[in-house]
Amino acid sequence: MEGFKIIFDRRLLTLIILVLAIILIPLPQFVSLYLLIHIIDTILIILFAVSFNLVYGYMGELPLGHACFFGLGAYTMFLLVRYTEINFALVLLISLCVVAAYAAFVASLIVRLSGIYFALCSLAFGEFIAILFWSLREAGGDVGMHLSIITIHDMVIFYYITLAVVAVSLVIIYKIVNSPFGLTIQSIRDNEVRSRSVGVNVLRYKKINFIISALFTGVAGILYSILFSIVHPRFCSWAMLLNPLVGTLLGGAGSFIGPIIGTALYYQVYWIISENTIYWQYFTGGLIMVLVLFFPQGIMGYLERKLKR
């Protein structure tokens, strides 16, 4: 089953890459500026979902506070740009180092836990960051921070920068999940006791995987805040995790392609519904119930079962 899954993923991934390259590279020439911003937004949420899936799908734990890394990198960047004269490239590096440091601290405390205890402790550390920025006057408090790093005229250039960064990030994540490290993480998810009995340092593998996931989540958050010229405490809150979580459930957790397909589909429907009604939460809640009850393995899980037969 695993061999079939890997081959299936690779074939589908190759097809998706070719189709996306044909569509996305010339795309800015054919869409409005408003739609281009939405496409960049979708690409960044896809990176968030794939990063989140490293912990949720491949490690088998639900990090409810993972959005704090999305906002922490963005806040660090905004604060450094506003209050220091540091070179912007160094600002980005420092921001990612802050994300990695906090992820290492959180991981060292919660990877010993599992199930609901892991989820709740992750949520606690995430909401701590959200509350911290909510009460920090220098960071704008409940208003957030507004900082124009790019202008409307730079949006096409920023689109290609985002596309390149996300593409490289996805390739790196794909290599990680199909490496001996990624396979070890999956073996820990499937049977932690057996992995420990054959000499695997379970805690170290979990910690490294958690930090990698947080780093790529931080990359998505930094680019997201640059796109909209704002960072807000909500970026660190559990509410920011809703779209990546539903997209991962829809596409299929534990599959590399699943969160990409699921997030792309869900985010478009969510965008259309939220543009036309204020009751989009009912749609999201109903979709989650349907997925959990009838399609627990998502689109990819359903396709794999059908093709295997």
What are the structure tokens assigned to 44, written together? Answer: 């960044």
- Taking the C-alpha atoms of residue 248 and residue 262, their distance in angstroms, rounded to an integer, is 6
Domains of the chain with CATH codes: 2-18+32-308 (1.10.3470)
Residues 173-230 have pLDDT tens digits of 999 999 999 999 999 998 888 988 888 899 999 999 999 999 999 999 999 999 999 9
Q: What pLDDT does residue 1 have?
A: 46
Instruction: Say what angle helices 202-228 and 67-83 make with each other, to 10 degrees.
Output: 50
**Which residue, among 251, 287, 289, 292, has the nearest Cα to 270 in the 3D structure?**
287
Q: What is the mean pLDDT of residues 7-17?
A: 66
pTM of the model: 0.89
